[in-house]
Amino acid sequence: MALSRFFAAVVACAILVSTPVLANEIPEINQQFRKGDLTGALDRANRFLSKNPQDAQARFLKGLILADQGKTNDAIAVFTGLTEDHPELPEPYNNLAVLYASQSKYEAARNALEMAIRAHPSYATAHENLGDIYAKMASIAYDKAQALDSTDMTAKTKLTLIQNMLGEQPRKSATAKSLPDSRQPAQAK
């Protein structure tokens, strides 16, 4: 009994001593990421996560780094894991939506944004991104209507309005584009 208390005290001291080091690690990884050293930041995040696999901030940052590296499927896996472990956080859902939209998976993006809004009803970014997804889906539907009936001027007018709103170039056929570049994954704060 006394021995287990001793070990508990040693563990508590180790946690207290290591906490300042761990507390500084995330901001340093984030700074490295923001400077553009994606490989170094990812290596450092992975080392940190090997010791702290459930740290939500480090996992989120890893997802951002992967997304910036163009490793979309890996980033999706990280953000999906975060939504499963921390469904109360809206940011991973929002970032999932942005990544899904970049792959023209608009239904999945819509679902992720609706989950972000359920988690945090006043999360303005998710509401704005959801509006963009709905506009993009409407653009695709109007484009399809135009392809099926080129004489439908109502659909053509609506398509032009939405394309102007989204900053898209008019298309000749029904094709899907990703969200405007301004909808990049949210940055860690």
Q: Which domains does the chain have, with CATH numbers?
A: 1-75 (no CATH), 87-189 (1.25.40)
Burial code (b: 16+ CB inside 10 Å, e: under 16) for 111-140 equals: bbbebbbebbeebebbeebbebbebbbbbb
Percentage of the chain lying above the pLDDT 70 cut: 77
Whether 179 has a pLDDT exceeding 90, the answer reads no
Confidence of residue 86 (pLDDT cuts 50, 70, 90): very high
- The residue-averaged pLDDT of 57-62 equals 97
Confidence of residue 23 (pLDDT cuts 50, 70, 90): low
Cβ atoms of residues 187 and 57 within 8 Å: no
Confidence of residue 24 (pLDDT cuts 50, 70, 90): confident
How confident is the model at residue 27, as a pLDDT?
Answer: 95
Which one has a higher pLDDT value, 33 or 188? 33
- The reported pTM is 0.75
Q: What is the DSSP letter of 173?
A: S
Q: What are the CA-CA distances from residue 42 to residues 28, 46, 94, 102 (Å)?
A: 12, 6, 21, 22
Cβ atoms of residues 155 and 142 within 8 Å: yes
How confident is the model at residue 144, as a pLDDT?
Answer: 94
Confidence of residue 70 (pLDDT cuts 50, 70, 90): very high
* Identity of residue 4: S
The alpha carbons of the chain give a radius of gyration, in whole angstroms, of: 22
* Identity of residue 78: V
Pairwise CA distance, residues 135 & 132, whole Å: 5
**Summary mean pLDDT of the chain:** 82
How confident is the model at residue 169, as a pLDDT?
Answer: 57
